[in-house]
Structure formats: C-alpha cells, structure tokens
A and B are shown apart, each in its own frame.
Chain A
Amino acid sequence: MTLLVLGAFSVALTLLGFLVSVPVFKRLTILGLSLALLTLLFSWGQPFAFGPYQVDGISQVFTLLALLGALWTVGLVRTRRFEFYLLVLYAALGMHLLASTKNLILMLVALEALSLPLYALATWRRGEGLEAALKYFLLGALAAAFFLYGTALHYGATGSLLAGTPGEGPLYALALGLLLVGLGFKVALAPFHFWTPDVYQGSPTPVVLFMATGVKAAAFAALLRVVAPGAPEALSLLIALSVLIGNLAALTQKEAKRLLAYSSIAHAGYMALALYTGNLEALGFYLLTYVLATGLAFAVLSEVSPDRVPLERLKGLFHRDPLLGLALFVAALSLLGLPPLGGFWGKYLVFTEAAKVGQWGLLILALLTSVVSAYYYLSLGLAVFQKGEAAAAPRPLARGVALLAALALLLLGFLPGIVLPALAQGG
C-alpha cells in the first residue's frame, strides 16, 4: 500500500507540477507523504509480500523513519520551485523500496532511485554547493559500482541474489565486504565518509536534514539485511574508525553543519554496533532518537539560516527565541546520550548488543569516544545561551514541530518502553 501511495503520488505530481501553483504543490506532497505514513501505520505489524517487494518489520520501522525525515524536510524548506518537493518524494519512494527488499538487484535499483534525487537536491544552491555535490555524485557512483560488484560476487558465491543467504569462503567474504562498502558510503561510515562534511556544509539545511535522517535510516535497513546474519570482520574496523574519526574531527569544528556531519559519522559507527546481532529493536530505537535529535538540530539551524551556520551565529538564540534555543540544547544532549533523554537509551541498547557478542574492545572505544563527544555537543548546546546576536525568524509551524520533537526526546528518555513493543513487531 505504502509503495502504491508513494508511487501514485510521484507519478501524478510529476504531471501536476506544471499545472498547479507551488504552495498547492507543497501541500499535495505533504498529503502524499502523510497518506503513505498513515497506510504504513494502519498496516503496522502485518507482513506483506509481492515478488521481491517484501514489507516486514525492518521495512516498516525504517520506512517510518525515512518518511518522518522527508515530511520534516518538505515542511521546512522555503523554495519557489516545485521540483524540490518532487525530488524528495522520489527519494522517499526509493527509500521505502530499499528498506523493503532482500533482492540485491532491486536494492541497487532502489539505492539509485534514492540517490539520484539527492544528487540533484545537493546542488540546489548553485555555487559552492556544486563542488560538494559533484564529490557526492562521483563517490556515490563509485559506491554503487562497488555494490553491484558485490552483488555479482554474492551470486557467484552462493548462487542467490537474496541478501542474508549464508555462505562461506573468500569469495563470499569479499562479496559481503564490497556490499558493505557500497552501503557504508550511504550511511557515512568511515573510511567512506569523505563526502559527508563537504556535502552537509554545502547543501541547503533542509536537504541535509533529509540526508542525515532518511538516507541513513533506509541504508541501515539494507545493511541490516546484508550484514546482520554473519557480520564480516571488517565491520569492527569500520566501526572503530567511524567513532574515532567522527568524534575527534568534530572537536575542532566551528561550523554547526560541519560539526553535525562529523557527529553523524560517529553515530553511524554506534548504530553499526547493533548489526552484530541484527537486533531490530535496538537499531530502530537508536535511529528513532537519532532522527528526532538530528532532525531537530538541523531544523533549528535552518530557521537560523538556510546557509552556513558558524557556532558564533548561534550565540544568543535562547534570548531571541527561548523555544528554539532550548530545542537545540535538548537535541545536542540527546545526541550526546545524556539521560534523561532518548539518546541515552539508544546508546544503551546498541551497547548492550555489542556486549552480547563480546565486542568489549569496541564497546570501550565507543564509550570513550562518547566522553570526547561531550565537548563539542556542549559547545553546540551551550552556544545558544551565550550572549550574542543570533537572528532567527521562525515560523509557528517550525516552532511547533521543534517543540514536539524535543518533548518526544524527553518522553522517550523517561519511558523508552512505550515504543519498543511496536519496534519489535515482526522483527
């Protein structure tokens, strides 16, 4: 159903784009995404399959997160061109498809379906964004090639195109490794992260919000299917590199979007800890709090400026607009994983997964880097309270959504149990 709704709206809106005005178009896009969300919620926990398209627990959880990211982006953006909304809709379709299949070929198609609109969105602002977008495109194309090569080898090693087929031997290991590279690029695991800081800094903030939330959610769904059954050795290396590089590089950043880019690399590393056991609950909860917190941070930044946001410019935000200031503070603390915010339970759950498989070394590294991360998250969170001349012209809707997200993070901090049963269903 979700696929039908998204597909129908994509096609219909492509035609309508030339006929209706942009505000109406925006509303139609929101309607389409909301309808998709509703159909998803109504069929929650009910598996459905049509050929290689399979809706199961993983698909539902990660589609939900991706759709939330897409809705948030569409709601925030201020643009007078309808193509923006359309591209987000296409990408959301690709994300849903990526999360809903075990077939590696279909995964590749979905991966491209979500990437192509994003390449275009990254260039939304001409000029400096162009270089970043080119980097994103070239590296993304390379990653897709890796993924395709991995698919071929996977078929060679197991005789199957289904992700998660057990196998053995060097060929199989190589295949998994190549698939991991392809997807690792999308979720920004180090050392495939080089595009992230530039693209995050150069792209319009709402687009970055979408990349940081939706893309990550969808690509992790695929990772869960590809990697989880027998996590390759290389995964530990990627995780270690991600949490180290992400957290250490973020320490010296003076620009909020770049800082959050490195933070997202580090978070990809933490999330990947859950891949060892493939526990949907843990990964889903982590992503939920991460999507809320990162989305909230980028949403606040986009109200301050659609462009670059040096930390200096955040100073005084709290005095200008207490709600937005507090929201950014809450988001930063949740990303840091400080109780009583939702981010803490996310970290707790994925760390438990790592403990279950005895990855004590990685666990300690992850904990230590979390300590380091306190420094930059606090710089970000406390900047809003300092004296300064932050300018912000937030719209009521943006403030309302920010309030909701901040409250959700608090609620998840005190009662994480309320969403876990839903996440576990069908997983």
Chain B
Amino acid sequence: MVVLAILLPAVFGTLLLLGLPRALGVWGAGLSFLLNLYLFLAHPGGVAFGVQAPLLPGAGVYWALGLDGLSALFFLTIGLTVFLGALVAKVEGRFLGLALLMEALLLGLFAARDLLVFYLFFEAALIPSLLMLFFYGGERRLKAIYTFLLFTLAGSLPMLAAILAVKALGGSPTFLLEDLLAHPVKGQAAFWVFLGFALAFAIKTPLFPVHAWLPLFHQENHPSGLADALGTLYKVGVFAFFRFAIPMAPEGFYELQGLLLFLAAISALYGAWVAFSAKDFKTLLAYAGVSHMGVAAFGVFSGTPEGALGGLYLLAASGVYTGGLFLLAGRLYERTHTLEIGRYRGLAASAPGLAALALFLFLAMVGLPGLSGFPGEFLTLLGAYKASPWLAALAFLSVIAGAAYALTAFQKVFWEEGSREVEDLRGPEWSFAALAVAALLLMGVFPGYFLDGLRPLAEAFAKLLGGGA
C-alpha cells in the first residue's frame, strides 16, 4: 500500500512531465490525497502497510517502507496540501508534474524505515525542488538555487559520513531503523555522529543561523505559491531529529541539547522579528515559517513527551496552513500582480470570501484555540516549560509576536482604507477554501484523533532520553 501511495503521484507526475494536460495532474493529486486519507483512517497502529526488500543486502541496506502513526499523519497533510495546490495554482502541466514527483519523494521520505532509504529520498527531493525554482523562478533564481543547493549539500554530506559512522560505530548489522535504534552510538563518537546529523537537519528545519537559504528560496520561487507549499513540506528537519538523529545518538544529543534549545528559541524569536518588518508577503511567510519551526524544534529538543508530541503536530499542521498561505499569496498575486503587502489595502470589501479564508489561515498560524495551530503550540509550551522555563519563556514570546505580525499583515491587506477591487473566490478556489478550512477546524477541534497515533512514539522517545513521564 505504501508503495502504491508513493508511486501514484510519481506516475502522474511523470505523465505530466511528458506533456499530458494539467487536469490529469489535479486528478492525480486528488487520488493521492484520497489514498493517503484512507491510509490514515485505516491505520491500525504500529508499523503498517510496509514492505521490505533487499537493496544492497551485503551492506545491510533494505528497501524498507512503512507507516507508523507519525508517517500516516504526514501522508495525510502532504496529500492534502499538494491537492490544494493542484486545485488552485494556475501553472502549466509540467510544473504540476514536478510538484507531484516531489510529493512522491516526500512521501517516501516520511515512510522510510531504513536510514539510507531516508537519505535517498531526502536528497532526491532536492532535484524537483531545484528544477521548479530553475524553470519557474524569478530573476535572481540562479543565486537562490546555488544558495539552496550549497546549504543543503553542506548539511547532507556530513550526514552521509554520520550515516556510515552510525552503523560502523554502533555495531548495527543493517541500516534498518529497528536495528539502528537497538544499537545506538555510545561515547565520544556519539557527539560527532550527532553533530553530523544535526547540521543537515538544522538546515532543513531551518534553525538560526543556518536558515539563510530560505528567504531567497521563497522570494524567487514562482508566484503561484505551489513550489513554496512544497518547499514548506520539505522542511523536515524537526521530523528527522525526532526519528533519526536523536534516538541514534542520544549521548551526543545530551551534549548539544542546551545549545539546540537556545538556537530553537532564537530562531522562534528572530523569525517573528523579521516577519514583523517584512514588506513582501512571501518574505513574511518565510520568516513566519522559521519562527514556527523554531517552536516545533524547541518541543522536540525538550525531550519530553508533550514537547515532542506538540512539536510534531505543529510541523504537520504548519504544512497545511503555511502551505495554504503561500497558495493564497499566489491567488493575490494573480489578481494584483504584486506581493508587496503595502500595496493591497482593503481587499475585504470586494473579496469577502478571500478575506475569510485568509483570516482562517492566519488565525491557525497564530495558534488560536479551535484551529490547527493551537494544540501543537500548547503541547510544545507544556513540554518546553518542563525542560527549561527561561528559554521556553523566550521562545514563546514569538507566539505573541506571531499574533502581531500575522494580524498586522491581515489588517493591512484586507481592512485598511483603500479602493482596490479584486475578484472574490471563484471556481476551484471555493473547494480550496472549503477543504482548507475543514482541515484547520478538524485538526484544531479534534486534535486527540490525530495525536493518538503519535502518542506512543513520543512517549518512547521521551523514555529513551530518560526524561518526561
């Protein structure tokens, strides 16, 4: 089943790249979403729907894919976000094809049960991401590409060294997740191994000060927001810390925990600060993303079950609302041909539906109770407070700042005096709005339903670290 879920978007993506019409891609994204929804609903707990076949048996590498509660949740949010993007982003078929290919690789990344398979997908997702930027990006795209690529590779090649070391030094017979978890690296080596992983994942979180690739990446991507939404989903650092880096070398994590908590807090605050002064819609969202990921990372680094649970939930939820906001920015760009926040003014009068959708998305981002951002932030706060009250206080200043930048931006765009008239939601945009709002509400009102699958994992994680309950 997992293989089918990964291959489905890959096949549709390839067909679109070969020149088939865009409508087929929308169907592909829709089917993929439904399949992922089914996988999520039918998920029995534990690791399900898996496959395992030798890849390099001599070296202990297996094609091992499977869904645990965490992967199932991400399958759902990725499927949803990509479907939303396919519905509204007015892009040519090949662009959507690249997006679907990227979706397939991201799904693979979340389903990987073998460290090298994870690495394979982690790196491979870079290629469609770069190609989208290259073919459909803005004027400074080459600079954005090189920045993005060098940052990513500067992280992922030390990670390759860490991968080699984790098996060699930990004594695990294979790269399978279970085997590696049973043979964590110990002693001084753990520090270096963890550092190798940490660098790669910090870049993909992104944590301050290695976030520098992100703003340019978003500014230069196609204004439709489709590539940005996928870029948001590609920020898998928090997940990777939780699933791979920390459990494989807990001793190394202890040594760096203080620093990481500090960096996460700084990222949260710094992102919010810059977002507040951003003049351009996408820059605002990029830095808001840095801020939110800082909070999520803080939760995981706290080593408590609540913190990890909250951080992961926030990561999953932010894929939908940040992705949704990027797509919304794309809708605005199509109507006004600008992304400058100061130049919209008073759009709510002529486009109430658009304003309402934006309000939902912004409020979810702010973490209003009842919407999808809240449970994650709340749980993170709970866990973070246990780990380090002072730093937690610092990090959660960003939540207040979040309200400030998000609501200011909303006010400027939709309410401020102005006579700019734009068209309201139309056609598929209504489905986009309905689906997005439904998801935000469901994830906000019934978080327990989504969190059930994560809970055992978060508890095992905290137990491994010897903290929490």
Chain A residues with a Cβ under 8 A of chain B: 281, 333, 338-340, 344-345, 348-349, 351-352, 355-356, 363-364, 367-368, 370-371, 374-375, 378, 382, 385, 415-417, 420, 424
Q: Is B127 a contact of A344 with CB atoms below 8 Å? A: no
Contact of B4 with A by CB under 8 A: no
Q: Give complex CA distance A367, B244 in Å.
A: 21
Supplied contacts A338-B126, A416-B55, 5 more A-B pairs, CB within 8 Å: A348-B116, A382-B142, A416-B56, A420-B56, A420-B58
Is B164 a contact of A339 with CB atoms below 8 Å? no
10 contacts between A and B (CB under 8 A): A344-B120, A348-B160, A352-B59, A355-B164, A364-B158, A368-B157, A371-B150, A371-B153, A374-B149, A375-B146
The contact string, 1 if C-beta is below 8 Å from chain A, for chain B 129-143, is 000001100000010
Known: A345-B56, A374-B150. A339 touches B161 (CB 8 A): no
The one of A340, A349, A356, A378 in contact with B146, judged by C-beta atoms closer than 8 angstroms, is A378
By a CB distance below 8 angstroms, the chain B residues around A344 are: 120, 123
Q: Does B51 contact A (CB under 8 A)?
A: no
* With A338-B124, A338-B127, A355-B168 as contacts: A367 and B58 at CB distance below 8 Å: no
Cβ–Cβ < 8 Å partners of A338 in chain B = 123-124, 126-127
Residue B57 interfacial (CB < 8 Å): yes
Whether A370 contacts B153 in the complex (CB less than 8 A), given A339-B120, A345-B56, comes out as yes
A416 to B58, CA, bound (A): 11
- B287 CB, nearest partner CB in chain A, Å: 26
Chain B residues touching A, majority SS: helix
Shortest distance from the beta carbon of B195 to any chain A beta carbon, whole Å: 12
Contact assessment for A351 and B160 in the assembled complex, using a CB-CB cutoff below 8 Å:
yes
Residues on A with beta carbons closer than 8 Å to the beta carbon of B126: 338
Which residues of the other chain, B, contact A375 by a CB distance below 8 angstroms?
146, 149-150
Judged by DSSP, the binding face of A is helix
For chain B, the count of residues having a C-beta within 8 Å of the partner chain is: 30
**Docked complex Cα distance between A281 and B58 (Å):** 10
Query: What's the Cα separation between A333 and B128 when bound, in Å?
Result: 12
Q: A-contacting residues of B (Cβ < 8 Å)?
A: 54-59, 116, 119-121, 123-124, 126-127, 134-135, 142, 145-146, 149-150, 153-154, 157-158, 160-161, 164-165, 168
Contact indicator B56/A371 (Cβ below 8 Å):
no
In the assembled complex, which residues on chain A have CB atoms less than 8 Å from the CB atom of B165? 355
Distance in Å: Cβ of A17 to nearest Cβ of chain B? 45
Q: Which residues from A are CB-within-8-Å of B121?
A: 339
Q: Which residues of B contact A416 (CB under 8 A)?
A: 55-56
Cβ contact within 8 Å between B164 and A351? yes
Chain B's nearest CB lies how many Å from the CB of A415? 7
Whole-angstrom CA separation of A344 from B58 in the bound complex: 17
A173 to B160, CA, bound (A): 34
| A280 CB to nearest chain B CB (Å) | 12
A340 & B57 in contact (Cβ 8 Å cutoff): no
Number of A-B residue pairs with CB-CB distance less than 8 Å in the complex they form = 70
A322 to B134, CA, bound (A): 16
Task: Check if B124 sits within 8 Å of A339, measured CB to CB.
Answer: yes
B120 contacts A378, CB within 8 Å?
no
Q: Which residue of B lies closest to A382 (CB)?
A: B134
Nearest chain A CB to B218 CB, angstrom units: 20
Complex CA distance for A333 and B130, rounded to whole angstroms: 12
A363 touches B153 (CB 8 A): no
A24 to B161, CA, bound (A): 52
B116 contact set on A, CB distance < 8 A: 348
Closest to B58 in A: A420
Interchain CA distance A349-B55 in the complex, whole Å? 13
Question: What are the residues of chain A within 8 A of B154 when measuring CB–CB?
Answer: 371
Q: Which residues of B contact A378 (CB under 8 A)?
A: 145-146, 149
Q: How far is the CA of A355 from the CA of B163 in the complex (A)?
A: 11
Q: Which residues of the partner chain A approach B57 to less than 8 Å between Cβ atoms?
A: 417
Asked whether, in the complex, the Cβ of B161 is within 8 Å of the Cβ of A363, the reply is yes
Whether A352 lies near B164 (C-beta < 8 A) is yes
Among B127, B134, B142, B160, the residue within 8 A (CB) of A367 is B160
Min CB–CB distance B56 → chain A (angstroms): 5
Could you say which of A352, A364, A367, A415 has the most chain B C-beta atoms within 10 Å of its C-beta? A367
Q: If A281-B58, A352-B164, A355-B165 touch, does A371 touch B157 (CB 8 Å cutoff)?
A: yes
A394 to chain B, nearest CB (A): 20
User: Which residue of the partner chain, among B142, B161, B168, contacts A356 with CB atoms under 8 Å?
Assistant: B168
Please, how many angstroms separate the alpha-carbon atoms of A378 and B144 in the complex?
A: 13
Q: Is the pair A364, B164 in contact by a Cβ cutoff of 8 Å?
A: no
Q: Which residue of A lies closest to B56 (CB)?
A: A417
Residues of B with C-beta under 8 A to A281: 58
CA–CA, A87 and B54, complex, Å? 43
Which partner residue on chain A sits nearest B54 by CB separation?
Answer: A417
B41 to chain A minimum Cβ distance, whole angstroms, is: 30
CB neighbours (8 Å) of B168 from chain A are 355-356
Cα distance, A378 to B123, chains bound together (Å): 15
A340 smallest CB distance to B (angstroms): 5
Q: Which residues of A contact B134 (CB under 8 A)?
A: 382, 385
**CB pair B157 A340 closer than 8 Å:** no
Known: A385-B134, A416-B55, A420-B56. A374 touches B153 (CB 8 A): yes
Cα separation A356 to B59 with both chains bound (whole Å): 12
Q: Are A415 and B55 in contact (CB under 8 A)?
A: yes
Question: Bound state CA distance, A339 and B161, in angstroms?
Answer: 15
Q: Is the Cβ of A367 less than 8 Å from the Cβ of B145?
A: no
A20: min CB distance to chain B, Å: 43
A367 touches B161 (CB 8 A): yes
Bound: A345/B164 CA distance, A: 12
CB of A361, distance to nearest CB on chain B (Å): 11
Residue among A340, A416, A420 with max Cβ neighbours from chain B (10 Å) = A340
Whether A417 touches B149, Cβ cut-off 8 Å, given contacts A338-B126, A338-B127, is no
B139 to chain A, nearest CB (A): 13
A364–B120 CB distance below 8 A: no
Contacts of A368 in B (CB 8 A): 157
List the 6 closest A-B pairs by CB distance, nearest first.
A367-B157, A339-B120, A339-B123, A340-B124, A371-B153, A355-B164
A349 CB contacts on chain B under 8 angstroms: 59
A340-B161 in contact (CB<8A): no
In the bound complex, CA of A371 to CA of B119 (Å): 16
Measured CA separation A416–B135 after assembly (Å)? 30
How far, in angstroms, from A344 to B154 measured CA to CA in the complex?
A: 16
State how many angstroms separate the Cβ of A318 from the closest Cβ of chain B: 10
State in angstroms the CA–CA spacing of A415 and B134 once bound together: 28
A363 to B56, CA, bound (A): 21
List the A residue with the shortest CB-CB distance to B62.
Answer: A417
Please, how many angstroms separate the alpha-carbon atoms of A413 and B185 in the complex?
Answer: 28
**Chain B residues within an 8 Å CB radius of A352:** 59, 164
With CB as the reference atom, state the residue of chain A lying closest to B164.
A355
Shortest C-beta distance, A268 to chain B (Å), equals: 19
Instruction: List chain B residues, Cβ under 8 A from A363.
Output: 161, 164
Name the distance in Å between A250's Cβ and chain B's nearest Cβ: 15
Please give me the residue from chain B that is nearest to A336 by CB atom. Answer: B153
Chain A residues, Cβ within 8 Å of B150:
371, 374-375
